[in-house]
Every structure is written in structure tokens, then in C-alpha cells.
């Protein structure tokens, strides 16, 4: 469950539109809770193929799983409005991860240990193909405690009814645990002793902790005397995730898998910065400790799933296709008042397959293959060179609702690359300073999406290539500084360094464009950046797609394919 503490006191604050916060990561706008959503008729920012309900607030994806051939997504939801509050676990099912049917909320406040909210958690598949959900509940004293829920009828593949055993809560904040920093249990796994293990996000002072519990029966849980892992000066760890990855295959692994060809991934969502970071390392089975590989960074400057708008993510093992799938929440960049006006807030990112890169140095993500069934009206651009200052429109594609895949070949033409300054150690700052309009040698070049005719509005996703002593450095950016003519918007420019040698392989960029969301995958999924934009002019049929080069050197496009995307069916 994602919470930033910020108290705003007094009637004056309420009249000015500020919120009161509870102890965790979402502002509570008391004066907006009773407002009826207006659900405006003109909805240029609702997505066509990203997952979102018809109305109201959503946040963290919870408990994703596959059961009897049916995919389940449970997620944090406010059934009464489009700002955070009244949180339940909403529930939708799918056979293809693209088209969805909503059901009644699966878990909602009904017992003493969750009476003030059913916050985030995870699903574990127990022996006998029996799903079990561990989730954070808020008790009458506003303590965060861990609860358990089971499906009422295992013969129902849609799992529409859930029950809570009388033993709840099954974990409580004792022995020095901060009752307001004890949340978001992971999927559980079994150790060599056959016992279940799970971790809960927490902190002590500024030290983030993954508190571990063990159980023989999944009902009675005992705290282990040490955390699975901890790191100083990182703050509260929300939505932790811990799972194995294969070192020699793109296939996913069951959460309990171990062995000589297995590494483990530890991911946390940092409440302080609203970013996520992960490390790759070794799980010591004897000591029940996780140790990151040398060189991985335990902080916000470490590796991230996504360098843009992406938070509170959760993975699950899809045993039907032997893959691990990642879900993530994309929140809004508008004001709460704007969210109330449009009647909704938040969407889920396109589910991504996730695996370990062959180098072992990072993870790779790619949109699930099923999303390609929505492609239509393919347009191809033949091999060509983009001259200095070139802007070429990709015609015949629905610019507001598209999937575009382009590759740039620089393998023979990099000798004039701009020199890398040693002080350029922050890719996001570098992208901000060297935006899409700042001329370099090799770059900026890439895509202009959700662009208006004349380019007054545009979101640029692009590369720059620098020479750093004996190697080349590739920078990937998403420049939102001209994404909208509107006001009161977050127009942060995002960036990341791409671990790729452009002399040895081509630079690829795939962007999924969906009205107010642009999910971009660089280097075949080694860097992902999600941008949230709200154009005023470039909406519906007035949104255009371009490929551009604002560098001084010609850039070779080796391939470009683009598709209009059909609307997914999401029944409410």
C-alpha cells in the first residue's frame, strides 16, 4: 500500500483544497470524499487497452494469479470516489490478459482486523491448487496487521467469493515493529524444511526492512529473528517482491524454486521517493538471508523496473506459459479536483513478461505477447536515413492509440559522438538539461508521440549516444516538457542509461501509446519509461506520430513498424 505523511490542519486548509493524511502513502482529501463523480462526457485521457475500471480511484495491483486457466487481477479500489479512501480489493478476470470482466470486490472490510481498510498483499497457491491471500488490514486502533483470506468455492474458476478464517489477524506488529510501518506481504515460498516463508515491508528509523515470518500450516505464523534483508537510509519499504529467476532461460520460475542455475530478485517500492528499485543476488537457504550481487545499489539510484510513472508493482508465476508476469500501477499527474471532475484516477500498466538478461546484470521486460492481438492496420517505413533536423510523420496509424517499434543502426557511424562529461552521472538530470530540442551529434533521435500538427504539443522518447573514453554511453529519455498546453501537470523529464554497445547491436525502441499513457521499452526491454501526459490539442484523431532526428549526424532507421490498436473489452 503506497503513503506520504503530510498533515494539513484547519478549516482554511480544507477550503483551499488540501488533504489530511493517514499514516502511510496517500493523501486523504476529506472534502472530496463526499463529492459525487461528475464523469465528464468528453474523456480524451481514458485509455483504450490499458486496464482500468469504469470509474473511481485505483492503485496497487494485488494478488495477480492464474487459476484453472483464468487470470485474476485484484487491486486497490475506492468504490465511492476518484480520490484515495474506502479501500477494498476489486476483482477482475481474463482469459488473455487483455480483455477483462469485473466481479464484485473480493475482499472488503468486514472483520475487526480490517475494519478500517483492506490494503495491499499477495496470493500464494497452496498444495492442491488452493489460492490463499495475505493482505494488510487496518484495525480499530489504525494498526497495520496481516490477514488471511481463502476462496469460498474452489470449483468456481472465477473465485467470486472469499472467506476470512477466525484466526485473523495472523501477524501483528509486536517486538518493536512500528504499527504504522508494517504492510504489504509478498507471495510466500517454501524453504528446504518445507515451511512457508513470507516477508512484510517495514522500517526502523530510516532503515528499510523485509521482516520475515515462517509457518507450517499458513495460518499460524512466527516471526524470524532476522529480516530477509535490510538497507540503511532507504526509508519505508512498500510492496516488496522476492522471486527467483533463471540464469540460462527466459522462462519464469515458481516462487519456491531454488538451485545452482537460479538467482533471486528483491524489489521494494520506496515510499519516500515513489520509485521502485531492485537488486539481483543470492538467497542463502541455510541462513534465510538475501545477499545482492556485488555492484548492485541499495537505494533510489539503483536499478529500476521503470524510470517513469510506475509503482507498487507485483509479479506472479504464470505456469500456463512458464513466464513471470509483472503488473504495475500508473498514477495520475493531474490534481485531485481534476480527477473528481473526470470521475476516475489511475490505471494499470500493460502486464509485462520479466526475466534475467543474459549478462546477469539486469532484468528485461516486454509487453505480454497477447497485447499484439489488438494490432491492426500495420504501417512499415523502409530503411532510410534521417537527416539533421528531420521530422517524418508515420501516416496511416491512429496516433492516440498505437504500438510502434523502431530500430536505429549506428554500428558504423559513431566516430563523431559527443564526449561524455564525467559529471553527467544523473541520467534524469541529463535528459532534462539536454531535452528533445537540444542539438547534439548522435541525438536526440527517436519518436514524437501524442503530437499536434505543428508540434506545439509533443512527447519525445529518444536516444543520445556519447563517447566515454573507450566505450559509448547510450542515454534514453522521455521528454514531457511540451506534452501539454494545460496547467498544474507533472511534466517531469525521465531518463536512464541503457547498458548496450551501439557498435555491436542496434538501438531498438518500442512505444505503446494509449491516449494519456506512453510506455516505452528501449534496448529490447532493458530500459522502460512510462510517461503520463494530458495533451490539449493532440487528442483523438488530432494526435500524430513522428520519427525525428535533432542531431548533427545522419541516423539510419533499419526498420519501423507501427500499428493502430483496437480497444480492449473491459466489462464492468
Paired residues of 133 in beta bridges: 123, 149
Say whether both 399 and 355 belong to one domain: no
Residue 32 has pLDDT above 70, yes or no: no
Say whether both 266 and 342 belong to one domain: yes
- How does residue 298 score in pLDDT terms, banded at 50, 70 and 90? confident
194-241 confidence digits (pLDDT tens): 999 999 999 999 999 999 999 999 999 999 999 999 999 999 999 999
Specify if 229 maps to a domain: yes
- How does residue 33 score in pLDDT terms, banded at 50, 70 and 90? low
The residue-averaged pLDDT of 112-128 equals 97
- How does residue 8 score in pLDDT terms, banded at 50, 70 and 90? very low
- How does residue 25 score in pLDDT terms, banded at 50, 70 and 90? low
Comparison of pLDDT for 249 and 40, the residue scoring more: 249
Domain that holds residue 394: 376-566
Please tell me the pTM assigned to this model.
0.94
Mean pLDDT is lowest, of 265-279, 438-452, 482-496, 512-526, for 482-496
The residue-averaged pLDDT of 443-449 equals 97
412-430 confidence digits (pLDDT tens): 889 889 999 999 999 999 9
Write the CB contacts of 425 (distance below 8 Å, at least 6 apart in sequence). Answer: none
Say whether both 322 and 437 belong to one domain: no
Identify the pLDDT of residue 173: 95
Say whether both 331 and 438 belong to one domain: no
Q: How far apart are CA 228 and CA 206, in angstroms?
A: 17
Say whether both 490 and 558 belong to one domain: yes
234-282 confidence digits (pLDDT tens): 999 999 999 999 999 999 999 999 999 999 999 999 999 999 999 999 9
Active-site entry in 60, 403, 514, 524: 60
Number of other residues whose CB lies within 10 A of the CB of residue 6: 10
What is the total count of domains within the chain?
A: 2
Say whether both 437 and 329 belong to one domain: no
Write down which residue in 348, 367, 386 finishes a domain: 367
508-531 confidence digits (pLDDT tens): 999 999 999 999 999 999 999 999
Write down which residue in 339, 367, 395 finishes a domain: 367
Specify if 571 maps to a domain: no
Asked if 73 and 327 touch (Cβ cutoff 8 Å), the reply is: yes
Residue 60 annotated as catalytic: yes
Handedness of CA 426, 432, 436, 441 (dihedral sign): negative
Comparing CA positions, the residue from 1, 58, 28, 131 lying closest to residue 572 is 58
Specify if 52 maps to a domain: no
Amino acid at each position: 500500500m503506497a503513503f506520504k505523511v503530510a498533515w494539513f490542519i484547519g478549516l482554511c486548509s480544507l477550503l483551499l483544497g488540501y488533504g489530511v493524511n493517514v499514516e502511510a502513502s496517500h493523501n486523504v482529501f476529506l472534502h472530496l470524499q463526499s463529492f459525487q463523480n461528475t464523469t465528464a462526457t468528453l474523456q480524451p485521457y481514458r485509455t483504450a487497452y490499458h486496464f482500468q475500471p469504469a470509474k473511481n480511484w485505483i492503485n496497487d495491483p494485488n494478488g495477480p494469479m492464474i487459476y484453472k486457466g483464468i487470470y485474476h487481477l485484484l487491486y486497490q479500489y475506492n468504490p465511492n470516489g476518484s480520490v484515495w479512501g474506502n479501500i477494498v480489493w476489486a476483482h477482475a478476470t481474463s482469459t488473455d490478459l487483455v480483455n477483462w470482466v469485473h466481479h464484485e470486490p473480493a475482499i472488503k472490510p468486514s472483520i475487526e482486523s480490517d475494519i478500517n481498510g483492506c490494503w495491499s498483499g499477495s496470493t500464494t497457491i497452496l498444495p492442491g491448487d488452493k489460492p490463499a491471500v495475505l493482505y494488510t488490514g487496518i484495525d480499530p486502533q489504525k494498526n497495520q496487521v496481516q490477514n488471511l483470506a481463502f476462496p469460498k468455492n474452489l470449483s468456481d474458476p472465477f473465485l467470486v467469493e472469499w472467506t476470512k478464517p477466525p484466526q485473523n489477524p495472523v501477524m501483528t506488529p509486536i517486538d518493536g515493529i512500528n504499527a504504522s510501518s508494517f504492510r504489504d506481504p509478498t507471495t510466500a515460498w517454501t524453504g528446504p524444511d518445507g515451511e512457508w516463508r513470507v516477508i512484510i515491508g517495514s522500517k526502523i528509523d530510516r532503515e528499510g526492512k523485509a521482516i520475515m515470518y515462517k509457518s507450517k500450516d499458513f495460518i499460524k505464523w512466527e516471526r524470524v529473528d532476522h529480516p530477509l534483508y535490510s538497507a540503511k537510509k532507504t526509508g519505508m519499504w512498500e510492496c516488496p517482491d522476492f522471486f527467483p529467476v533463471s540464469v540460462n532461460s527466459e522462462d519464469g520460475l515458481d516462487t519456491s524454486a531454488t538451485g545452482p542455475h537460479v538467482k533471486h530478485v528483491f524489489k521494494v517500492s520506496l515510499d519516500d521517493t515513489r520509485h521502485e528499485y531492485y537488486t539481483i543476488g543470492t538467497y542463502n537457504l541455510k541462513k534465510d538471508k538475501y545477499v545482492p550481487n556485488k555492484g548492485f545499489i541499495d537505494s533510489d539510484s539503483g536499478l529500476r523496473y521503470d524510470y517513469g510513472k510506475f509503482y507498487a508493482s507485483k509479479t506472479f508465476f504464470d505456469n500456463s506459459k512458464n513466464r513471470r508476469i509483472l503488473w504495475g500501477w500508473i498514477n495520475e499527474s493531474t490534481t485531485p479536483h481534476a480527477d473528481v471532475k473526470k470521475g476516475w484516477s489511475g490505471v494499470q500498466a500493460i502486464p509485462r513478461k520479466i526475466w534475467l538478461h543474459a549478462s546477469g546484470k539486469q532484468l528485461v521486460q516486454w509487453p505480454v505477447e497477447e497485447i499484439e492481438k489488438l494490432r491492426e492496420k500495420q504501417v512499415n517505413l523502409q530503411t532510410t536515413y534521417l537527416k539533421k533536423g528531420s521530422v517524418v510523420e508515420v501516416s496511416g496509424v491512429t496516433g492516440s492509440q498505437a504500438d510502434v517499434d523502431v530500430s536505429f543502426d549506428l554500428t558504423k557511424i559513431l566516430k563523431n559522438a559527443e564526449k561524455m562529461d564525467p559529471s553527467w552521472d544523473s541520467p534524469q538530470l541529463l535528459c532534462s538539461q539536454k531535452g528533445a530540442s537540444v542539438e547534439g551529434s548522435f541525438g536526440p533521435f527517436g519518436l514524437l508521440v501524442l503530437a499536434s500538427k505543428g508540434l506545439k504539443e509533443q512527447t519525445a522518447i529518444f536516444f543520445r549516444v556519447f563517447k566515454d573514453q573507450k566505450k559509448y554511453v547510450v542515454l534514453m529519455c522521455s521528454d514531457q516538457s511540451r506534452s501539454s498546453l494545460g496547467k498544474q501537470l507533472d511534466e517531469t523529464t525521465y531518463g536512464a542509461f541503457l547498458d548496450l554497445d551501439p557498435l555491436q547491436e542496434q538501438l531498438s525502441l518500442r512505444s505503446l501509446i494509449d491516449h494519456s499513457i506512453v510506455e516505452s521499452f528501449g534496448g529490447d526491454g532493458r530500459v522502460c519509461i512510462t510517461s503520463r501526459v494530458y495533451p490539449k490539442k493532440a487528442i483523438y484523431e488530432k494526435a500524430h506520430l513522428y520519427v525525428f532526428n535533432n542531431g548533427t549526424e545522419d541516423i539510419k532507421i533499419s526498420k519501423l513498424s507501427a500499428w493502430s490498436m483496437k480497444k480492449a473489452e473491459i466489462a464492468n
